[in-house]
């Protein structure tokens, strides 16, 4: 299977409710893949599990519309996170890891997150990838965030050009997305860069519709990524479990 991702058009806005919302409007107009929506600020930015995405200004806030085969969509979050990982590795020297399934950390603090929304018809998915990368915002000493967070400015002590970083990400994403589509993606390499690999960590898992959507917290040892994008973990007795709908709890 040959599938070459082509960046067709960029739309840049000063302010939107959310780049995800505008991307869905584009899909409703039957646009093809390769559209990128960028906004300098969002009034209703959102992250995973219905959380708000808070940007304090001059960060990378954008969405991409792609059309992957349905059987590939479960791997889109980790491919996107890895593309961010590779992009940031060329900017900072600090330790960067991927917090499965869709966050990127620098020295254990969140610098980027990914949100995926799929609109499936027959065997094709219109998929919107929403990306936030903390670039020039100030996260030092802030307590507004659910998880410990950091920006590139915090790390480098300088303002960086947001648009150039988005372009670098898109170059990397094109490479790894095409590898995914053409069954040439090496998940073992991605797996080696997982946050807390080989460690026992607290997972917020098995989201319930009971008790105001409270979740269970369970400790598992992270073993590796599976070929389908799920995470292989082990409990204290060595029993293997594959997680598909969970997240690592920082606290």
DSSP secondary structure letter of residue 70: G
Q: What is the largest CA-CA distance in the chain?
A: 53
pLDDT of residue 86: 98
Q: Which CATH class is domain 200-248?
A: mainly beta
pTM equals: 0.89
Question: Domains of the chain: which residue ranges?
Answer: 9-191, 200-248
**Which positions ≥6 away from 172 have C-beta within 8 Å?**
83, 86, 87
**What are the percentages of helix, strand and coil residues in the chain, rounded to 5?**
25, 35, 40
Classified by CATH at the fold level, domain 9-191 comes out as: BirA Bifunctional Protein; domain 2 (3.30.930)
Q: Which of 125, 130, 111, 104 is nearest to 16 (CA)?
A: 130
**C-alpha dist (Å) from residue 228 to 24, 101, 115, 186, 232:** 26, 12, 18, 12, 11
The per-residue pLDDT string of the chain (251 residues; one tens digit each, 9 = 90 and over) reads 556 677 889 999 999 889 999 999 999 888 878 999 999 988 765 555 555 555 556 899 999 999 998 899 999 999 999 999 999 999 999 999 999 988 999 999 999 999 999 988 776 789 999 999 999 988 776 655 567 889 999 999 999 999 999 999 999 999 999 999 999 999 999 999 999 999 999 887 655 444 455 556 789 999 999 999 999 999 999 999 999 877 777 54
């Amino acid at each position: 299977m040959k599938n070459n991702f082509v960046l067709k058009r960029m739309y840049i806005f000063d302010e939107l409710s959310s780049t995800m919302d505008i991307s869905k409007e584009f899909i409703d107009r039957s646009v093809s893949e390769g559209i990128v929506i960028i906004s300098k600020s969002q009034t209703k930015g959102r992250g995973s599990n219905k959380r708000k995405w808070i940007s304090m200004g001059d960060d990378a806030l954008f969405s991409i519309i792609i059309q992957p085969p349905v059987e590939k969509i479960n791997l889109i979050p980790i491919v996107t996170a890895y593309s961010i990982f590779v992009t940031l590795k060329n900017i900072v020297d600090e330790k960067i890891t991927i917090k499965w399934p869709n966050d990127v950390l620098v020295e254990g603090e969140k610098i980027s997150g990914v949100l995926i929304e799929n609109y499936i018809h027959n065997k094709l998915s219109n998929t919107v990838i929403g990306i936030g990368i903390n670039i020039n915002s100030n996260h030092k000493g802030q307590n507004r965030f659910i998880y410990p967070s950091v920006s590139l400015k915090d790390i480098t002590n300088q303002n960086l050009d947001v648009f150039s970083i988005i372009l670098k990400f898109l170059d990397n994403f094109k490479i790894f997305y095409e590898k995914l589509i053409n069954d040439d993606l090496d998940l073992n390499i991605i797996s080696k860069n997982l946050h807390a690999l080989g460690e026992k960590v607290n997972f917020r898992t098995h989201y319930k519709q009971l008790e105001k959507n409270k979740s269970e917290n369970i400790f598992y040892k992270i073993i590796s990524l599976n070929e389908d994008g799920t995470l292989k973990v082990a409990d204290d007795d060595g029993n293997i479990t594959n997680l598909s709908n969970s997240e690592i709890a920082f606290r």
